[in-house]
Amino acid sequence: MRKYLPHTLFWLTIYLVWTYIRAGGNCYDIFLRVNLVQLSMYMTAYYVLKRVQIPRLFDQGKRLLFAASIFLLSVLLYIYWRWMGVLWIDDLVGYPNRLLWSVGDYLHQSVQMYSPAMILLAWETYNDRLKELERMERLEKEKLANELKFLKAQINPHFLFNTLNNLYSNVITKSPKAPDMVMQLSGILDYVLYKSQSKTVPLSEEVKTIEHFLGLEKIRYGQRLEVQYQVGQNLKLPVSPLILLSLIENAFKHGASGDIDHPKITIDIKEKQEEIHCEVWNTKSKYNGELNDAYKKGIGMKNIRRQLDLIYPNNHNLLIEDGKNSYCVKLTIKPTFA
Q: What is the mean pLDDT of each run of 10 residues along the chain (338 residues)?
A: 86 91 77 91 96 94 95 95 88 74 88 94 93 85 73 63 78 84 87 83 94 88 90 91 89 78 92 94 72 48 86 92 91 80
Given this model, what pLDDT does residue 224 score? Answer: 86
- Say what the pLDDT of residue 172 is: 86
Measuring CA to CA, which residue among 95, 72, 80 is closest to residue 40? 80
Instruction: Check: CB of residue 30 under 8 Å from CB of residue 90.
Output: no
Question: How many residues are given for the chain?
Answer: 338
State which fold the 153-333 domain adopts.
Heat Shock Protein 90 (3.30.565)
What radius of gyration, in Å, describes the C-alpha atoms of the chain? 37
> For residue 291, what pLDDT is reported?
44
pLDDT given at position 259:
67
Cβ-Cβ contacts under 8 Å for 223 (sequence gap 6 or more): none
- Confidence (pLDDT) at 78: 94
Rounded Cα distance, 66 and 316, in Å: 55
What pLDDT, on the 0 to 100 scale, is given for residue 257?
67
Q: Distance from CA of residue 333 to its chain's centroid? A: 22
Tell me, what's the pLDDT at 176?
85
pLDDT at residue 8, rounded to an integer: 93
Question: Domain coordinates of the chain in residue numbers?
Answer: 5-138, 153-333
